[in-house]
Structure 1
Amino acid sequence: MTLGSEDAPVTVTEYASFTCPHCATFHATTFEKLKADYIDTGKVRFVYRDVYFDRPGLWAAMVARCDPDRFFGVSDMIFDQQRDWLSSGDPVGISEALRKIGRVAGLSNDQLDACLTDQAKAEALYDWFRSNAEADEIDSTPTVIVNGAKQGNLPYDDLKAIIEEELAK
């Protein structure tokens, strides 16, 4: 999933898992600043790539991707409410909490049922994750890649310095 201008001089790719607490922190802090300062101004094209450590992470991704036009809004809700929807630890409770997020985001029960039961899509997403993560040598989340150079998990000021260096080239 992408945000920002296709012609942006810098591409920032983030590998993240919806069940990763560090990823939720990245989205609450670093991503918001990145979006305001660079994505919304046309300087950065942002690419989001899922990492699946577990089934709940895949389920969350399927809910977020249920309507591609709502992906970033739904993913923000999933990250913001991560502790709540994961708290039951029970697959049924987690699924119901994710469905509730989807409904609040404007998805219908029928849409959510179709998304969460689409086995072919789940397999395709998992295969895509494995292929991309292997190609980019991803071993932790969040991992940020700036114009092809793997950076890991960075505080905003460090990420900003790297982006500014790339923009100056």
Structure 2
Amino acid sequence: MNKPFLVSVAVVAAATAGGFWFANRDAGTTPLQISEMTEAADFDVVEMTQGNPDAAVQLLEYASYTCPHCANFHADQYQQIKENYIDTGLIGFTYREVYFDRPGLWASMVARCGGEMRFFGLSKLIYEGQQDWARGESGEEIITSLRNIGKVAGLSDADLDTCLADADQAQELMAWYQSNADADNITGTPTFFINGEPYSNMNYADFAAVLDEKLAEAAE
């Protein structure tokens, strides 16, 4: 039995422990159902952020690594928002993962394996390769593809073994996701909040118009 399969088994075990289960990954907008989850108080999960944390305008994205619309957003609108608003310090940006399926959780565990410094770079690679890895015919095939993405980003096999077999982290991420989804009524991805107000996906021009309006209001 090869190492990727062992890791796959470990992650599947982590993902099905504690009384929760995953919807079929082809179900699209149907979120994971979780029962008997420990009450969420404080989570040991790092919020992944970019830009100015003290900016008057804050953009929050809920996204799934297996969501094609999320991949399209990150290839298009996000790049322009990053260049014109995030990198310039005009706004702060927070990315929160949504786990509609096992592969989405596995991808998140790989993205987070590199820590805060590598998270967004790994996320970019994961979204760019979504059409390939997310179509794997088995969990083993999907995880092998995700591991390869991690190694392209400089992670070692030992790093990936440790991250993907971390059952406690899988449980923590799931509880964190469910707490966020319940609090913000997340039923589909991508979903956005700008200064706490919910928005659906938009083209870049519409995003820019909303951000400019919020920035103008904050400057008054």
TM-score between both structures, scaled by the size of structure 1: 0.98
Does the alignment pair 1:47 with 2:94?
yes
Aligned partner (choices 71, 90, 115) of residue 24 of structure 1: 71
Distance 2:121 2:144 in 1: 19
Contact 1:3 1:45 in 2 (8 A): yes
Does the alignment pair 1:88 with 2:145?
no
Shift of 1:44: 1.0
Shift of 1:6: 1.3
Does the alignment pair 1:12 with 2:59?
yes
Shift of 1:9: 1.7
Does the alignment pair 1:120 with 2:183?
no
Distance 1:48 1:89 in 2: 28
Aligned partner (choices 145, 166, 174) of residue 97 of structure 1: 145
Distance 1:152 1:99 in 2: 32
Identify the range of structure 1 (6-15 vs 96-105) with the bigger mean alpha-carbon deviation: 6-15
**Could you say which residue in structure 1 is the equivalent of 2:190?**
142
TM-score between both structures, scaled by the size of structure 2: 0.76
Distance 2:201 2:181 in 1: 15
Shift of 1:102: 0.2
Contact 1:144 1:154 in 2 (8 A): no
Q: Which amino acid aligns with 1:61?
A: S
Distance 2:190 2:86 in 1: 18
| Number of residue equivalences | 169
Distance 2:99 2:77 in 1: 21
Distance 2:78 2:192 in 1: 11
Shift of 1:155: 1.3
Distance 1:167 1:36 in 2: 16
**Could you say which residue in structure 2 is the equivalent of 1:71?**
119
Shift of 1:87: 2.1
List structure 1 runs of 4+ shifted beyond 2 angstroms: none
| Percent identical | 52
Unpaired stretches in structure 1, ≥5 consecutive residues: none
RMSD of equivalent CA atoms: 0.7
Higher-Rg structure is 2
Contact 1:103 1:109 in 2 (8 A): yes
Q: Which amino acid aligns with 2:131?
A: R
